[in-house]
Amino acid sequence: MRVLPKLSVVWLAFVVFAWALGAQEGFDDPVLNERYRELIHEIRCPKCLNESIGESKAPVAADLRREVRRLLTEGASDDEVKTYLSSRYGEFVLYSPPLTPTTFVVWAAPFALVALGGLVFWRILAARRNQPLDEEPPP
Amino acid sequence: MVKYIVPLAIFVIIAAFFAVGLRMNPNYVPSPLVGKQMPTFSLPSVTDPQNLVSSEALAGRVSLVNVWGTWCVECRHEHAFLLELARAGLPIYGLNVRDDRAAAIDWLARLGNPYVSSGFDPEGKAVIDWGVTGAPETFLIGSDGTILHKHISPLTLGIWQRDFVPLLREHCGPADCPFLAALGGR
Amino acid sequence: MIPEFGQLALALALCLALVQGIVPLVGAALGRVEWMALARPAAAGQFVFVAIAFGVLVYAFLSDDFSVLFVAQHSNSALPVFYKATAAWGGHEGSMLLWIAVLAVWTMAVAAGSRSQPQEFASRVLGVLGIVSAGVIAFAFITSNPFTRLVPTPADGNDLNPLLQDPGMIFHPPTLYVGYVGMAVPFAFAVAALLTGRLDKDWARWTRPWTIVAWLFLTAGITLGSWWAYYELGWGGWWFWDPVENSSFMPWLMATALLHSLAVTERRGIFKSWTVLLAIAAFSLSLLGTFLTRAGVLISVHAFASDPTRGLFILGLLGLFSGGGLLLYAVRARHLEAEGGFKVMSRETFLLANNILLVIGAFVVLLGTLAPLIIEALGLGKISVGPPYFNLMFLLPTLPLVALIGVGMHTGWRTMPGDALVRRLRMPAIAAVVVGVIVPFVFFETASVLTVLAVSIALWVCVSSLLDPARRIVFRTGAPMTRGQVGMCLAHFGVGVFMLGATVASAYNFERDFSARPGEQIEAGGYEFVFNGVREVQGPNFVAAEGDIELRSDGELLSLLKPQVRTYQVQTQPMTEAAIDTNLARDVFVALGEPLGNDAWSIRLRVKPLITFLWLGAGLMALGGLVAITDRRYRVAARQTDRSPAQTAAGTA
């Protein structure tokens, strides 16, 4: 029976060590780690002043990071992770707004602006090409 | 020519949105769970670890689910009102989050226990399904299990009458909500 | 007693600003010389009283006068002296006073430099500045008075936010404000021109130096803020597209467009309505930034205040200045149109494209920043728009823009033969693309299409910017370069360097959290980190847990990194102070996370290649502006301010 105390010490050390390792917030697999890193920067902390769960020190951010790790370990895709969280916390937590009829304008607008800019550009060019070049005044 | 008006027009539109925006609360985040079935859960009870508190217990009647913790200062502010609600016959289920069991039991003993039972969720895992970001948060659950309303911040009589009672009047059948008589008022 | 003097000074400044604003403008409209002449003395008086008010506030901080509410909220007797002084702008009320003070300094400078301008015009410029000053002083006085008393007086104050107790805090706000607020100057010039009904090359020549100075300070201010956030906030990011950050970036984009548009107006007398509109837009966006930071309309960690009442007042100011300016533009701008042709292959074309692309860029940022507000106001739900959107969408106008910089620099005015251009640029372009494709793969093994594209474009701009200086300095051919041209090359080179740093640091960023016990070695990011535990150290007004980490490469010790987690005496939220090992090639960034029990700690490791290029590039841009402002023609113009306008006009081309 005297081996029991020694075993409990070993057991305790193992538990603590395992707990400390478990607190490691990353994956050994570099691909998974990369996905994790990117995801936690794309998900907004629902209770912070505009921070991602990757940056925030709030407890809810730590909880959500843990959820992301769990989901990734279970083999969820990036989209599945985002859907899981947005169905519980709202689209508010997605820093990249999902493409819906409402957000269509948000995503399409930059392209529309570039097209509009191109139009303006050609029109001005067309007008100026036909104007006199006028002389360079003497310096 | 029209093009000279465009910048002014753009400005006026943006300014109009700002004027509206000044009246909104940027911190208010609506919950996507309102109108949906409440998440299922099964947690050990705070007071009696052998017993389970599960979502099945809420079936068939109107109830409140309240997220609390002894660390939450604001939860004390609503505690008295929760006791009133409980006394009036409204079943309230608690979700005790990120807490120490002994402290929680002591709190309920000292301040009174408004809950039919409280689920113990020390790591905050179960409440994620509810979209919970902190405490206090209160969910109004209909008799069919749908979430009728979510309220963040302490629950008071004023908020109860303004936000909860109208929903309950709509939702409750003639004999479903006896507590409305005591607290619904007009 | 003394804080009341501050209030009095502010009130007097308001009166003088109103005089400075209203009287000269009315005088210019009526042709009354004595009224117009009041502009400069009123501006000087306003400056004196604003300086007194600001001095009183700083004095209140330095003398620990906690009977002043603002001092009690943002200072503490244990706060180091340096920070006591800079705490004057550590909160909303004080920062508004800084805004006002900076505007007063700008006004004095413009007043001093306006002697070569016709009085009708100069008095209008000062008049507009006076109205702006009056509006902002009224705002401060009525809604955000820094001299409000606190009764009963507390024994000690709340201390300055620990995040702000940092050298970067000293320089970032004033520098940023000089740029931000300085946009009022080209705005005033533009409105004055619209009121006068005349806008010519002289006007562009007067406006341009002010714009360059404001632009370069804005560049430096934004860069300082970004750098400060990088080393201070502990997570290694440098730009978050936060609404407040965007508020400073949008004016910068417009100001850059304005700078370039002014070049065309000065040279050819065209693009006048563009230039005027850009000047009004740049200042409008500055005001917009002031609004977003303080109105509580958007969530931000930088937000000073969240007060809808103040927000309404600023919205009113926006309506007056932006709305007024744009209304004036709508009515008067069509009369500014001028003839002046140019062919497709010309500098004007490239500068036109520059204008358009920069404006599109500003609109993309504006759209992303305001979209959540607009969608929520329309009752369509609550969304967020963050870095994933901006990082992608902002590239749409920007990548082509930067590529075009490299070409546009070498074009001639009015028209130039296209094949000459191609011949000059073909080899450098090919070299840039080849290196841009090869280098990422060589150093980093993988590269996405976007990374290769961005790196190639960045290298292209760098090479292209050096072509003319190289010809001049190395080969001694070609005409000598003016300082304006040197500044241009320097600034464009800086753009390329910046883009290189931003692309590589973002694409090849190594980031991971580890837990470590004392004595453990972690291999990560190509380095070894030996964790030697954490000990307690004492600071002037904080206690810190300081980590001891050896940075080694192949076993050889590179440096000792000591990140801290500080707990300040008064505001006790823990603060991370990262430890960074910097060299030109990369930053190694170490921060402490939380204690994990049993002497173990979580440690955040980041390796960021080429991130120094970011700060360097931006610094080069500002330096380019500084060099450009010392160009001979501005020094000549300064010497000529003592002559009469007629003499000056005879001397200019």
What domains are defined for chain A? Answer: 3-135 (1.10.8.640)
Judge whether B20 lies within some domain.
Answer: no
Residue among C65, C111, C106, C109 nearest C88 (CA):
C65
Helix A30-42 crosses helix A78-89 at what angle (to 10 degrees)? 30
Task: Provide the strand spans (E) within C434-563.
Answer: 510-516, 521-524, 527-538, 542-553, 556-561
Query: In chain B, pLDDT over 70 holds for what percent of residues?
Result: 98
Please provide the average confidence, as pLDDT, over all residues in chain C: 91
A24 or C357: whose pLDDT is higher? C357
Q: Name the residue type at position C111.
A: A
Is residue A136 classed exposed, middle or buried when 0-12, 13-18 and 19+ CB atoms within 10 A define those classes? exposed
Q: If DSSP codes are grouped into helix, strand and coil, which group holds residue C346?
A: coil
Instruction: Work out how many domains chain B is built from and give that number.
Output: 1
DSSP letter at A97 equals -
A31 touches chain C (CB under 8 A): no
pLDDT surpassing 50 at residue A80: yes
User: Looking at chain B, which subunits does it touch, using at least 3 CB pairs closer than 8 Å as the criterion?
Assistant: A, C
* pLDDT at residue C638 in the model: 58
* pLDDT at residue A89 in the model: 94
Q: CA of A80 to nearest chain C CA: how many angstroms apart?
A: 17
Is residue C533 classed exposed, middle or buried when 0-12, 13-18 and 19+ CB atoms within 10 A define those classes? middle
Most confident of B169-183, C14-28, C444-458: C14-28
- ipTM score: 0.90
Residue C650's CB: how many other CB atoms inside 10 A? Answer: 9
Q: Which of C384, C387, C602 sits opposite A23 (nearest CB)?
A: C602
Question: Alpha-carbon distance B150 to B97, whole Å?
Answer: 17
Nearest CA in chain A to B134: A60
Q: How many helices (H) and strands (E) does chain C have?
A: 23, 10
Q: What pLDDT, in 10s, does the model give residues C510-541? A: 888 888 889 989 888 889 999 998 999 998 88
A17 or C596: whose pLDDT is higher? C596
Q: CA of C371 to nearest chain A CA: how many angstroms apart?
A: 7
Q: What pLDDT, in 10s, does the model give residues C546-598? A: 999 999 998 889 999 999 999 988 877 788 889 999 999 999 999 988 888 88
Q: If DSSP codes are grouped into helix, strand and coil, which group holds residue C512?
A: strand
Residues in a beta bridge with C521: C530
Judge whether B41 lies within some domain.
Answer: yes
Cα C322 to Cα B6, C125, C215, C288, C316: the distances in Å are 13, 16, 19, 9, 10
Contact residues on chain B for C376, CB-CB shorter than 8 A: 21, 24
Q: What pLDDT, in 10s, does the model give residues C193-206? A: 999 998 999 999 99
CB C252 within 8 A of CB C218: yes
Residues in a beta bridge with C96: none
CATH number where B97 lies: 3.40.30.10
Question: Alpha-carbon distance C67 to C57, whole Å?
Answer: 12
pLDDT surpassing 60 at residue C648: no
Q: CA of A77 to nearest chain B CA: how many angstroms apart?
A: 19
Nearest CA in chain A to B130: A88
Please provide the average confidence, as pLDDT, over all residues in chain A: 82
HSE-CB at C39 with a 13 A cutoff on CA atoms is 31
B23 touches chain C (CB under 8 A): yes
For residues C428, C433, C437, C439, the Cα torsion angle rounded to the nearest 10 degrees is: 20
Nearest CA in chain B to A86: B32
Q: How many helices (H) and strands (E) does chain A have?
A: 5, 0
Is residue A87 classed exposed, middle or buried when 0-12, 13-18 and 19+ CB atoms within 10 A define those classes? middle
Residue among B109, B66, B64 nearest B91 (CA):
B64
DSSP letter at C561 equals E
Backbone angles phi, psi at C407, to 5 degrees: -85, -45
A118 or B61: whose pLDDT is higher? A118
Domain containing residue B40: 33-183
Helix C167-182 crosses helix C272-294 at what angle (to 10 degrees)? 140
Q: Which of C281, C333, C377 sits opposite B4 (nearest CB)?
A: C333
Q: Do A134 and C371 touch (CB under 8 A)?
A: no
pTM, full prediction: 0.92
Judge whether B111 lies within some domain.
Answer: yes
Residue among C193, C221, C200 nearest C89 (CA):
C221
* pLDDT at residue C649 in the model: 46
CB C221 within 8 A of CB C175: yes
Contact residues on chain A for B31, CB-CB shorter than 8 A: 89-90
Q: Which letter, b or e, does each residue of C349-382 get, where b requires 16 or more Cβ atoms within 10 Å of its Cβ? A: bbbbbbbbbbbbbbbbbbbbbbbbbbbbbeeebb
Question: Alpha-carbon distance C181 to C103, whole Å?
Answer: 6
Contact residues on chain A for C292, CB-CB shorter than 8 A: none
Question: Alpha-carbon distance C624 to C486, whole Å?
Answer: 7
Q: CA of B26 to nearest chain C CA: how many angstroms apart?
A: 6
Judge whether B24 lies within some domain.
Answer: no
C364 or B26: whose pLDDT is higher? C364
Question: Alpha-carbon distance A106 to A97, whole Å?
Answer: 9
Q: Which of B4, B22, B30 sits opposite C311 (nearest CB)?
A: B22
pLDDT surpassing 50 at residue C644: no
At residue A15 the predicted structure's pLDDT band, cuts being 50, 70 and 90, is: very low
Residue C521 in tokens: 């070695």
Contact residues on chain C for B18, CB-CB shorter than 8 A: 291, 295, 297, 311, 315, 318, 373
Q: Which letter, b or e, does each residue of C70-99 get, where b requires 16 or more Cβ atoms within 10 Å of its Cβ? A: bbbbbbbeebeeebbbbbbbbbbbbbbbbb
Q: Taking the CA atoms of C365, C371, C374 and C376 in sequence, report the sign of the dihedral they define.
A: negative
Among A residues 48-107, those touching chain C with beta carbons less than 8 Å apart:
48-52, 54-55, 90-97, 102-103, 106-107
Is residue B16 classed exposed, middle or buried when 0-12, 13-18 and 19+ CB atoms within 10 A define those classes? exposed
Residues 6+ apart with CB under 8 A from C148: C68, C69, C70, C93
Q: CA of C49 to nearest chain A CA: how many angstroms apart?
A: 37
Q: Which of C273, C297, C331 sits opposite B18 (nearest CB)?
A: C297
Residue C45's CB: how many other CB atoms inside 10 A? Answer: 18
Q: CA of B17 to nearest chain C CA: how many angstroms apart?
A: 6
Selected for mutation to probe chain C from A39, A45, A51, A53 (highest C CB count within 10 Å) is: A51
Residues in a beta bridge with B146: B37
Residue C160 in tokens: 């300055």
Segment C440-468 shows an average pLDDT of 92
Q: Do C360 and A97 touch (CB under 8 A)?
A: no
User: Looking at chain A, which subunits does it touch, using at least 3 CB pairs closer than 8 Å as the criterion?
Assistant: B, C
Question: Alpha-carbon distance B129 to B38, whole Å?
Answer: 9
Segment B18-39 shows an average pLDDT of 90
Contact residues on chain B for A60, CB-CB shorter than 8 A: 124, 133-134
At residue C124 the predicted structure's pLDDT band, cuts being 50, 70 and 90, is: very high
Q: What pLDDT, in 10s, does the model give residues C63-98? A: 999 999 999 999 999 889 989 999 999 889 999 999
Q: CA of B42 to nearest chain C CA: how many angstroms apart?
A: 30
Q: What pLDDT, in 10s, does the model give residues A93-129? A: 999 999 999 999 999 999 999 999 999 999 999 999 9
Between CA C312 and CA C320, with CA C315 as vertex, the angle to 5 degrees is 130
